[in-house]
Amino acid sequence: SILKVLGPVLPVKKNDIIDSIKELENTSKQISSTNLSEKNLSLNLAEWISGTPVIYYPFGLQAAAIRFKNSLQENAKIHAMAEDVIEACHNDIVAWERVSDVKPILLEGANDYVKTKERWQILKTYFEKNKIDYKEVLSVNGSIISKLINLIYLLDYSTIYLAALTGVDPSPIKSIDFIKDRLL
């Protein structure tokens, strides 16, 4: 199987895959369009997003953050940015000295490294002190595979909900087609 081939590079155990599927089934029930309650995390996030989201993430969740940024751009057709939490606490923090329509979204791992947790807490304190509205999105517990798959699923759903809430059809990608047509 592909897991055996990738084993030396990406050590994923069979149980990690099984656990990921179980978590994904739970997430699916929670964010389904049949559950339009306040318990639907994807819908809540979509309703919260306005302006330009900046997605802050720890090292291990970079793939989910980049995917979320790209899905926001393609599905909801809005600008979005992604920045790792270390940079968020360095140069990026300076930009918060000015009022803007940028909305911070913190993608946090269930068991982030202790220094990463410290950075999250400092960022939250800074945002609260400066009355900057932010949103936290927490990963599920489990392996990195479970975290990434579930975050990507939850966040992709939020981009579809955002498109629906703002009256945007997520299907057409005229701008990409424009570029592709000229690159042929």
CATH number, domain of 101, equals 3.40.50.10490
Question: Within a domain: residue 62?
Answer: yes
Q: How many domains does the chain have?
A: 1
Q: Alpha helix (H) ranges present in 2-143?
A: 2-6, 14-31, 41-48, 62-71, 85-88, 91-94, 114-129
Could you tell me if residue 93 is inside a domain?
A: yes
Q: Is 150 part of any domain?
A: yes
Within a domain: 16? no
96 versus 14: the higher-pLDDT residue is 96
In a domain? residue 127: yes
Count CB neighbours of 71 within 10 A. 21
Q: Is 67 a member of any domain? A: yes
Domain hosting residue 84, numbered range: 49-165
**Is pLDDT at 8 greater than 90 in this prediction?**
no
Residue range 158-166: mean pLDDT, rounded: 98
Against a cut of 0.95, is the pTM above it? no
> Which of 1-15, 108-122, 154-168 has the weakest average pLDDT?
1-15
Indicate whether 10 belongs to any domain.
no
Is 179 a domain residue? no
User: Residues 49-65: pLDDT tens digits?
Assistant: 999 999 999 999 999 99
